[in-house]
Structure 1
Amino acid sequence: MDRRQRVLNFVLPQGRTGVEIGPLTNPLIRKDEGDVLYADHLPTDALRRQYDGHPTLGPVGTDGIVPVDVVLGEGGLADALGPRGPVDYIVASHVVEHVPNAIGWLREAGDALREGGVFCLIVPDKRFTFDHFRRPTTAGALVAAHLAGLRKPPVAVVYEHFARASPVEASAVWKGRPVLLRPISGGPTEALSIAAGIAETGASVDVHCAVFTPCSFADILAELIGLDLLPFECAALEPTCPWESEFFVLLRKRTDRTAAERAATVPRLDPRRHDALPRPRWPQRLALRLPRRWRRAFR
């Protein structure tokens, strides 16, 4: 099942009203599949200017960016929707990791949902992405960002991104091969220079403010719901499938249950499968004992 079909099965958009955040050129919910509004932080024309020449758009370029229906502002999604809300579902693919205050962002999404509405998140698994060498974000870091009301990535996160972001071949990680750190942006020396500039000027840069494995995300989610910081229960959590690099989370807004009851809906994942790196398959383990010149046959 492809990622789009998974999302459709989660949110069941036909006959319902929903929002997809940040679809750019590749919306997961099409307009002919339900009453869906596309939301982003800029109007369509400004968004196309910002992404002019951006490699993530591929051959379609900025002309392929879908028209933005809802422009997100400081007031959050509920405020941006106005009388069009609340909605039945929200979809956000590879968004939560960019948000400086993830708890505040999730709470704002809850404000925009009807009781029983669902929020579908697609989250990159750091083990199989350029975040491979970063340590998973902690619940404490998210709580601190929320209490501080952060609107920009903290300097520590900026440094970590530029010091450790490294190209990673997901298939190699799945095979249990060791991955070499090859910083995309020059490593710690360049990261220090960038972080110092951010600290001095107060500028903002788009980085992954949080990084997760399925197991670390589940543990944090249970803790935050248990603290009654989030108005959700966990309706589903699909860990990263073999050879893929992202996992799926479905949150359901429930305010009629206690925080402890809602926290108990988060599944407990096996850290050996959903937090640790995959172990080499037996041919690769055998190859490690062979002379280097013979190892190619086992790759």
Structure 2
Amino acid sequence: MNRPLIRREDGEVLYADHRSTEDLRAKYAGHSSVVGAQAQPIVDVDLVLEHQSLAESLGPRAPVDYIVASHVMEHIPDPLGWLNDLAAVLREDGVIFLAVPDKRFTFDFHRKPSTTADLVGHHLTGATIASPIQVFDYVSRVAEVDAAAVWAGTERAPGPIFEGQLSRALADARSVAEHGSYVDTHCTVYTPVSFLAVFRDVIELGLIPFEIARIEPTQRNTIEFYVTLRKRSAASPAERAAVTPRLDPSHHDAWPDVPVRGFGRRLTLALRMLRKGSIR
């Protein structure tokens, strides 16, 4: 919106959003990210997707070489359908760059990572808004997280963002079920390791025409990881799944190691490692 990963001066770039530039400026008029000394202006939106698909918006300008989606996919009720929509406007061997929040360092801290069944189920039902299940899980578990404290090992039980979360979650889920209400939600939740496991499955099932070409795991004191998906519709699902990268779960799925400070701290951790095989 106002901090794009790719700038216009980097090449032939089109910015897409669900609303027009004017609507976005009105919506976020008082938001700290666009107001104040450190703020950056909202970019001019070229493709407004509120009432049309990306393919319809692009028209004859498709296909494209690459697509960048930063903190978008987790808001999509049906990520597999969304990725197929993107594939439809992408050249063969074109890539999608994803910036994905790591649940360990965000307000999704207490939520369990999404499973293959979660993504397949919402894809088969053609979900267009967050389901009652997705909404209830999000609202009931969302937490006030200090990412730096989690990395430092001083925070392992963040508290709720607001009071009455459980009853609020039920009310919001009922509203979705009974009235089809829209609730902005992190519909899916990942760690770098869980992302690879789920998407290897859906690639092997032939549900998306991509391979995972690269993953950059979450770096210390940050909250997101980066994934490069390459379109290879000519290859078999098994071939595409076979090249999925691997990560060490002890570093990229569990809580991060606590930084070692001072001789006493190092000795304590060394003794714990000898006794338990882990510093946790």
SS in 1 for 2:219: coil
Q: Unaligned stretches of 5+ in structure 1?
A: 1-23, 288-299
Matched-pair contact (CA < 8 Å) for 1:166–1:184: yes
The yes-or-no answer on 1:204 pairing with 2:182 is yes
The reply on whether 1:153 has 2:138 as its aligned counterpart is: no
Counterpart code for 2:207: L
Q: Distance in 2 between the 1:146 and 1:77 partners?
A: 18
Is 2:173 the counterpart of 1:195? yes
Is the 2:14–2:47 Cα contact (8 Å) retained in structure 1? yes
1:189 aligned partner, one-letter code:
S
Offset, 1:74: 5.8
Query: TM-score, structure 2 length as denominator?
Result: 0.88
Q: Could you tell me which residue of structure 2 aligns to residue 218 of structure 1?
A: 196
Match of 1:251 among 198, 211, 229: 229
Query: For residues 95-244 of structure 1, what are the structure 2 equivalents within 5 Å?
Result: 95-186=72-163, 187-244=165-222
Task: Please report how far the alpha carbon of residue 62 of structure 1 lies from its aligned counterpart in structure 2 after TM superposition.
Answer: 9.6
Q: Aligned equivalents of 1:257 and 1:142: distance in 2? A: 22
What code does the residue aligned with 1:267 have? P
1:36 partner amino acid: V
SS of the equivalent of 2:233 reads coil
Q: Which residue of 2 aligns with 1:54?
A: 31
Asked if structure 2 preserves the Cα contact closer than 8 Å seen for 1:48 and 1:62, the reply is no
8 Å Cα contact 1:73/1:80 also seen in 2: no
Secondary structure of residue in 1 paired with 2:15: strand
Partner of 2:15 in structure 1?
38
The DSSP-based 3-state class of the residue aligned with 1:150 is coil
**Distance (Å, rounded) in 2 between the aligned partners of 1:171 and 1:61:** 21
Counterparts in 2 of 1:127 and 1:112: CA distance versus 1, 3 Å: same
Aligned-residue identity in percent: 47
Q: Shift in Å at residue 286 of structure 1?
A: 4.2
Q: C-alpha offsets along residues 65-110 of structure 1, whole Å, 9 cap, x if unaligned?
A: 1111011256532222110110000001000000011000011111
In structure 1, the residue matched to 2:274 is: none
The aligned amino acid for 1:278 is: P
Q: Which residue of 2 aligns with 1:271?
A: 249
Q: State the partner residue of 1:290.
A: none
Structure 1 residues 87 and 74: CA distance shift in structure 2, 3 A: same
CA shift, 1:180, in A, is 2.6
Q: Distance in 2 between matches of 1:130 and 1:285?
A: 33
Greater CA deviation, 260-269 or 47-56?
Answer: 47-56
**Which residue identity is paired with 1:217?**
F
Amino acid at match of 1:147: L
Change (3 A) 1:246 1:237: same
Report Cα offsets for 1:191-240 as digits up to 9, x if no partner: 22232233333210111001100000001111111111111112111111
What stretches of structure 2 of length at least 5 have no aligned partner? 270-280
* Residue number in structure 2 paired with 1:297: none
Q: Tell me the number of residue pairs that the alignment of Structure 1 and Structure 2 aligns.
A: 265
Structure-2 separation of matches of 1:74 and 1:251: 26
Secondary structure at the aligned position of 1:241 is classed as: coil
Residues 3-14 of structure 1: pairs in structure 2 closer than 5 A: none
